[in-house]
Structure 1
Amino acid sequence: MESKFKFEKLKIWNKAMDLSDDIDRLTESFPKKELYNLSSQIRRASDSIALNISEGSIGQSNPEQRKFLGYAIRSLAEVVTCLHKAKRRNYIVEKEFDNFYEESFHLMNMMISFRNKL
């Protein structure tokens, strides 16, 4: 399928989509008691990253795009905090945490770099 929206070509959007899918799979193993708490929170925050990248890219001025990238960056910070909570509660092992942490750090740097170039 050919990409028709410009955000579909952005590496940061594609990486955010991948992260969101990975987080969704990760939360399947969380305890049932977290279904409406941590599981829901981290899934919504991870979804929000790609949603804000795409929303900011459609017909917006650079200041508007920068604003929505800021929202995406904040959502990613929320994801990282949720990952810390999951590790502290022993829902994920150190290696899982480290992998998600590195992936998040890389995406954060990419988004900040992209925002700085606007």
Structure 2
Amino acid sequence: MALIKYHKDLIVYQKAFESAMEIFNLTKTFPSEEKYALTDQIRRSSRSVCGNLAEAWRKRRYEKLFVNKLIDSEGEAAETQNWLDFALACNYLNEETYKELYIKYDEILAMLVKLSKDYEKWTFQKHTQ
């Protein structure tokens, strides 16, 4: 297992970033009337997964804050899945692309839950005197 020094070293961050960029590129084809609605919402939530992970990483000396930011990241990933549902229902995505992205976010969610459950492995240990 490679040493994880930065949030960008986390596989979950890498998957979330890659997925957010995929969504960004896909949403370029959404209708212009969705610019301030669905397009904006799905881009924001997908990017927020990464943003909250970066914040969590910097707050890992405080266990509760670390876990809280991971939970925020989970919420953003689930919100992204919600917007994917709308994009499919509006016929902005085909079924195959939808399924691939939805599965990616299921994997991201599973990794975030594992990080939260195993928070002691990632947070700074309290020093006893």
So what's the TM-score if we normalise by structure 1?
0.93
Question: Within the alignment, does 1:19 sit opposite 2:19 as a pair?
Answer: yes
Q: Tell me the residue number matched to 1:110.
A: 111
Q: Distance in 2 between matches of 1:75 and 1:15?
A: 14
| Cα deviation code 1:62-104 (max 9, x no counterpart) | 1111000000000011100000000001111111111001111
Q: Distance in 1 between matches of 2:15 and 2:55?
A: 16
Which of structure 1's runs of 4+ aligned residues deviate more than 3 A? none
Question: Within the alignment, does 1:100 sit opposite 2:117 as a pair?
Answer: no
Q: Give the secondary-structure state (helix, strand or coil) at the position aligned to 1:55.
A: helix
| Cα deviation code 1:37-69 (max 9, x no counterpart) | 000000000010000000111144111110000
Highest Rg: 1 or 2? 2
Question: Which range moves more in the overlay, 53-62 or 14-23?
Answer: 53-62
- Structure 2: which 5+ residue stretches go unaligned? 120-129
- 8 A Cα contact 2:59 2:65, kept in partner: no
Q: Tell me the residue number matched to 2:126.
A: none
Q: Distance in 2 between matches of 1:12 and 1:63?
A: 20
Q: Distance in 2 between matches of 1:108 and 1:94?
A: 21
Q: Tell me the residue number matched to 1:36.
A: 36
Flag the 1:74–1:59 CA change in 2: closer, same or farther, 3 A: closer
Question: Over aligned residue pairs, what C-alpha RMSD do you find?
Answer: 1.3
Q: Give the secondary-structure state (helix, strand or coil) at the position aligned to 1:91.
A: coil
The AA in structure 1 aligned to 2:87 is A
Between the two proteins, the alignment pairs up a number of residues equal to: 115
1:8 deviates by: 1.6
- Structure 1: which 5+ residue stretches go unaligned? none
Q: Tell me the residue number matched to 2:92.
A: 91
Question: Which range moves more in the overlay, 6-15 or 93-102?
Answer: 6-15
